[in-house]
Amino acid sequence: MQLRRVGTWVAIVMIGAWAAEARAQQPAAAPPPAPDPRGMIFDLGEIEVVGTAPGTPGVGGSVLTSESIWRYDRQSLDQAVNLIPGVASTLDGNGRRNESDIFVRGFGRWQVPLMMDGVRIYLPADNRLDFARFLTADIAAVQVQKGYASVIDGPGAMGGAINLVTRKPVKPFEAEGSVWLGGRDDREAWSAWGMAGTRQAKYYAQGSVNVSDRDFWTLSNDYTPAARSLQPAGRRLGSDSRDWRVNAKVGLTPNGTDEYTLNYTRQEGEKGAPLNVFNNPPVPANSFWRWPYWDIQNLSFLSRTNLGGTAYMKSILYYNTFKNGLDAYDDINYTARAANGRFFSPYDDNAAGGTIEVGATRTRAGDVKAALHYRRDEHTEQNFNRPDNPTLANTEPLQTQEQYTWSTALEDTIHASATVDFVVGASYERYEITRAEEFNAARGVFEYPKGGSDSFNWQGAAIWHYTPSAQVHASVSNRARFPVIFELYSTRFGSATPNPDLGAERATNVELGWKGAFGGRARLEGAVFYSDIRDLIQTVVLPDTTTQTQNVGDGEFYGVEGSVDLTVASTLQVGGNYTYLRRTVTDALQPNLRPVGAPTHKAFLQAVWTPIQRLSIVPSLDLAGDRWSDINPVPAGSFPYLRTGAYTLLNLSASYQFPGGVEVMVGGRNLLDDDYALAWGLPQPGRTFFVKTRIGL
């Protein structure tokens, strides 16, 4: 480790200690009353939970708190969700796009919607969300519904749902900030976060900013370059990224029941795309990619109004934009886009929509909710082909695709007794493509046939609270997922045939679960789950050798998950979780098909030791077994998939809370320097270290 790096880390610790000392020397004031532990959570932005109180997991769900995100140093969403049983992050199918995907009990980003404060983040072209772009420092909680996601929250939740819940202020004035520095070789990366807000009797306001800047990350020392590999040992080429997000909200609270908020979020990012370490030359040849921008903006209005008695109305109105640029360069110098097949491809998308939800407690025996959702998406694209070629550069005209989606849902909760609840829900959903432009040299701009589809969904759950701290639940949920524009119309650079008649895919998810607490010292949870998938959207090869997406796959996902948290002593807590997942997909046209990306076995183990007051030492283990991955190109006569991705990551951190509300943490990730790859040919970071500090007012 270089001397400059050690000096920087020491400086951060000294600054934190100095700030703590300065605050400690101020005149003491009477401590404020302890706030509601859920007060910082923007509860108006939470999605529905079934079978429990707001802010707790509900049937088939988990809630990850901001404190867990801080304690285990998970700076982006893809890192954070690995703390949750049944959820695993990975690289996209072949890793070429350098996108992090998330699997919830085997279902990926196309079957598990991502929301922020209940507003869906959706990319109409292909919904290839990169979960590594979503920073977590300003997030109060991450809600994950697994298998059973309420129909009240809107369409598309075939395999569950993920919701990022932001913060709101709880004190007349509050502020919080943190600085992070990490890596191994020189200064690899830094990040910072700051928030300020006020909570008054009739209103509140808050603003925050979160920044992350990475120059590169370092491979494990066990990595050995393959023959003729473009990737040497040490720094991972193309691993740089820069992200920032601002979040602001203003809320009116005219009385004890009503709330009206205006929310604004903007995040911008850029990133490289590390190359497959085995392919030289790369396959395909135009694999030298960079994203000069990856930007999302959300403006939303959320409200809750009491309608008298036990009735209420909630509303959401929003306008979202997404802008994305992709450069394909000639070679590893990343300077020119002049060769055949090189391009600059910008996306410019926007969406507008809203939700109206009404509900009422009819009697002590139950309550009912109904919701109406509407969303319009517009996607605009064009290609700048060979833009740096002095004679062959050409620009395609703009092409636009539009679609609308709407859903109506009803949910009824029946309190059969003081300890038994039954919940039933149903929804009808429909989407339609209203514009489907494409371009080629022979036809110019033209329109494909416009597609559309609808679906009926249903679900039910039974929850038995046999003690105040324990419950058994059983649920079944039958949900559909509509295809994205990419699946309907993309020609994959001329290698695919569109299918505007592509239908929805569907899953029936069944779960039996239990959770309980014992004497305030132990908490245990467990679940058995099974998913039956029909009409799965798969890519098949046509007689003319082009490919096409079709509803040809059937599958089964099933497994078990469990977690335990135990207080061993006043100074020691231990815990962990484990998931077993098995996935099979049957496609008569692709007998060798294997579902990629999700590991069969996954576990997280941790302990929190407090040997003295204010000092916490936290060792943890991230463990995973192998997962299927694509091989590209496929060697002649070989199986087109292989098993990869097993890892054992030892992590350790130590934090000290100075007087005055300043905390400093130092730690390391992957301390055993495990060399592993979540997708074939794409190794992950080796041993890293970090230091960070935070202060709150």
User: Where does residue 665 rank: exposed (0-12), middle (13-18), buried (19+ CB within 10 A)?
Assistant: buried
C-alpha Rg value of the chain to the nearest Å: 25
Task: For residues 609 and 604, give the distance between their C-alpha atoms in angstroms, rounded to a whole number.
Answer: 17
Using one digit for the tens of pLDDT, what is the confidence trace for 445-463?
999 999 899 999 999 999 9
Cβ pair 618, 652 in contact under 8 A = yes
Residues constituting the chain: 697
ω before 498 within 30° of 0 (cis)?
Answer: no
The pair of three-digit structure tokens given for residue 200, joined into one six-digit string: 């008054």
Closest to 470 (Cα-Cα) out of 514, 511, 512: 514
Residue range 7-36: mean pLDDT, rounded: 42
User: How confident is the model over 500-514, as a mean pLDDT?
Assistant: 94
Token pair recorded at residue 175 = 């502020």
Residue 55, pLDDT > 70, answer: no
pLDDT of residue 355: 97
Residue 488, sorted as left (phi over 0), alpha (psi -120 to 50) or beta, turns out to be alpha
Instruction: Report the pLDDT value the prediction gives residue 561, as an integer from 0 to 100.
Output: 97
CB atoms within 10 A of CB 545: 7
Is the C-alpha dihedral spanning 102, 104, 105, 106 positive or negative? negative
Q: Which of 229-243, 542-556, 557-571, 642-656 comes out lowest in average pLDDT? A: 542-556
Helical ranges in 29-86 per DSSP H: 66-71, 77-80
d(CA 357, CA 316): 9
CA 354 to chain centre: 22
- Residue 502 pLDDT exceeds 70: yes
Task: Identify the pLDDT of residue 225.
Answer: 94
Q: To which residue do tokens 């929850």 refer?
A: 463
- Percent of the chain residues topping a pLDDT of 70: 92
Question: For position 38, what pLDDT does the model report?
Answer: 55
pLDDT at residue number 205 = 98
pLDDT digits (tens, 9 = 90+) for 382-425: 999 999 999 999 999 999 999 999 999 999 999 999 899 999 99
Q: What local confidence, expressed as pLDDT, does residue 53 receive?
A: 57
Helix (H, G, I), strand (E, B) or coil at 69: helix
What tens digit of pLDDT does each residue of 466-498 get?
998 899 999 999 999 999 998 998 887 777 888
Mean pLDDT of the region 509-514: 97
Evaluate if residue 592 carries a pLDDT over 60. yes
- Rounded Cα distance between 593 and 569, Å, is 50
Dihedral of alpha carbons 541, 542, 548, 553, sign? negative
Q: Which residues contact 316 (CB under 8 A, 6 or more apart)?
A: 118, 119, 300, 301, 302, 354, 355
Output the CA–CA distances (angstroms, integers) from residue 233 to 458, 553, 685, 687, in the order listed: 53, 41, 12, 14
As a whole number of angstroms, the distance between CA 79 and CA 432 comes to 35
Q: Is the predicted pLDDT of residue 220 greater than 50, yes or no? A: yes
Mean pLDDT of 429-441: 93
Other beta carbons within 10 angstroms of residue 37's beta carbon come to: 10
The band of 168, judged by pLDDT with boundaries at 50, 70 and 90, is very high
Higher pLDDT among residues 662 and 56, named by residue: 662
Question: What does the alpha-carbon distance between residue 414 and residue 426 come to, in Å, rounded to a whole number?
Answer: 15
Amino acid at 632: N
Give the integer Cα–Cα distance in Å for 103 and 582.
13
Please report, rounded to a whole number, the percentage of residues in the chain having pLDDT higher than 90.
76
The answer to whether 319 touches 350, Cβ cutoff 8 Å, is yes
Distance from C-alpha of 475 to C-alpha of 148, rounded to nearest angstrom: 7
- Asked which of 47-51, 180-184, 572-576 is least confident by mean pLDDT, the reply is 47-51
The per-residue pLDDT for range 273-308, each reduced to its tens digit, is 999 999 888 888 889 999 999 999 999 999 999 998
Position 35 scores a pLDDT of 41
DSSP string, 255-317: SSS-EEEEEEEEEEEEEE-PPPTT-SS-SSTT-EEEEEEEEEEEEEEEEEEE-STT-EEEEEE
Determine how β-strand 601-612 pairs with β-strand 572-586. antiparallel
The answer to whether 430 and 405 have CB atoms below 8 angstroms apart is yes
Distance from C-alpha of 155 to C-alpha of 406, rounded to nearest angstrom: 8
Distance in angstroms (rounded) separating the CA atoms of residues 203 and 621: 43
C-alpha to C-alpha distance for 537 and 551, rounded to whole angstroms: 5
Which segment of 58-67, 106-115, 449-458, 610-619 scores lowest on mean pLDDT? Answer: 58-67
**Structural domains of the chain, ranges and CATH numbers in brackets:** 3-696 (2.40.170.20)
pLDDT of residue 51: 64
Which residue in 692, 695, 601 sits closest to 72, CA to CA?
Answer: 692
349 DSSP 8-state letter:
E
pLDDT band at 636 (very low <50, low <70, confident <90, very high): low
Q: Rounded to an integer, what distance in angstroms lies between the CA atom of residue 622 and that of residue 577?
A: 10
What residues contact 493, with CB distance under 8 A and at least 6 apart? 341
Cβ(174)–Cβ(198) under 8 Å? Answer: yes
3-state secondary structure of 428: strand
Q: 174-212, pLDDT tens digit by residue?
A: 999 999 999 986 679 999 999 999 999 999 999 999 999
Instruction: Kindly state the tokens that stand for 580.
Output: 């077993």
The DSSP bridge partners found for residue 424 are 412, 460
Element of type H or E holding 68: helix 66-71
- Say what the pLDDT of residue 106 is: 96
Higher pLDDT, 525 or 637: 525
Element (H, E) at 459: strand 452-467
How far is Cα 477 from Cα 492, in angstroms, rounded to an integer? 34
- Ranking 283-292, 309-318, 360-369, 425-434 by mean pLDDT, the lowest is 360-369
Instruction: Catalogue the E-assigned strands of 590-661.
Output: 601-612, 615-624, 627-630, 641-644, 647-658
- Per the prediction, the chain carries an average pLDDT of 90
Q: Which residues, in sequence order, are bridge partners of residue 103?
A: 88
Most confidently modeled range among 428-437, 582-591, 632-641: 428-437
